[in-house]
Chains A and B, each alone.
Chain A
């Protein structure tokens, strides 16, 4: 009896240890010193969450009119805008290269190319097959134009930060005046959601160093800056949410497919597990072990 009790205890402890071990990996990933991101209340959260197409369209508009002036998205092509679950997906055009909205959006942009006749560098209208135009010809130019640090590519930004979409939303809408006692460095801005350690720049109470860090990017959004035609509020908060959702989509464009496939896989495995367990019980029936 004792042996059995101990064995089940050991099983319990071992299972707990494994679960604990998995959890232990997570806190190691948290960045230190920054304020915890606020929730953007996104539609794509949770196991059944999907992207809100209207929000992705607005987010693209904000990216295109504001962010794209400095930030590239080198992993994105204009055709991606018409992909399934993307901002301009239209079931009538399973091949997004045929999607007229996508074609029109691409055409608004000029991209560098080589003239196939003369070999001279030219500018031409983009096509759906083109990559999103980079604001700078190369990384050195990007750094030179921004005080020495190139603005990061935004293609996978929502995966490159912990709690990505909420982080982007919080950062963009979370600029506030630096607390008194904080020395702001030249060309830097205070943001409570930016990772960093402000201790060296803090002259106030040592036990209450403000959360956050310095960011080179000045507050990029203003109320009314981008015109929405769907009646959504034209506020910094809404812009930040929409562009965060857009970047979440560019980071993980197959998320909806992934979750939908996962649902089928889990249901299948549950049924398979039930059948296998029933067979197992039947085969072992009457066999002492």
Chain B
């Protein structure tokens, strides 16, 4: 990740490695006692991350017990210490998704595929049925709003991760421990799983609270 430098590129200094304002040690100590959770959105719509907010009032007792490290809803941009739970939204659609997911696997005790995209690729995996050359042409070359007569451009740049030919479910890239289906899952299902895991109970997701749409 930080060390992944492409040919010809100069090494970047990442914002999260620069000098920063220190966090209040008392608050930090309180958080240190809590169960560490990290979340990541790979190729998805961010909806499953928002399902976490759909726990509503149940967020408060949950957040008494857990603290969230790396997540798109915090400014913590890397996992810096081992986490108990990794909450993964989205499937794998580019090289950065692969690196991130592998990093999560190495640093989380339990990894959960949350939602259709993580579980089986979801709607983005519909592109697996179409040759990439056609997709590219439709998006960037032959769109009705394309600029007539301009030089045809398809995005390709050292700062852009390369896209995978197919969209993959997470468990085809690393071992995933648990799965919560749905597009998105109900807040009830997300709550049940997290509440069981952080209280030391086994994963037990009743079929009745699953969604399949």
Q: Are these two chains actual partners, yes or no?
A: no
| Chain A interface residues toward B at CB < 8 A | none
B-to-A contact residues, CB < 8 Å: none
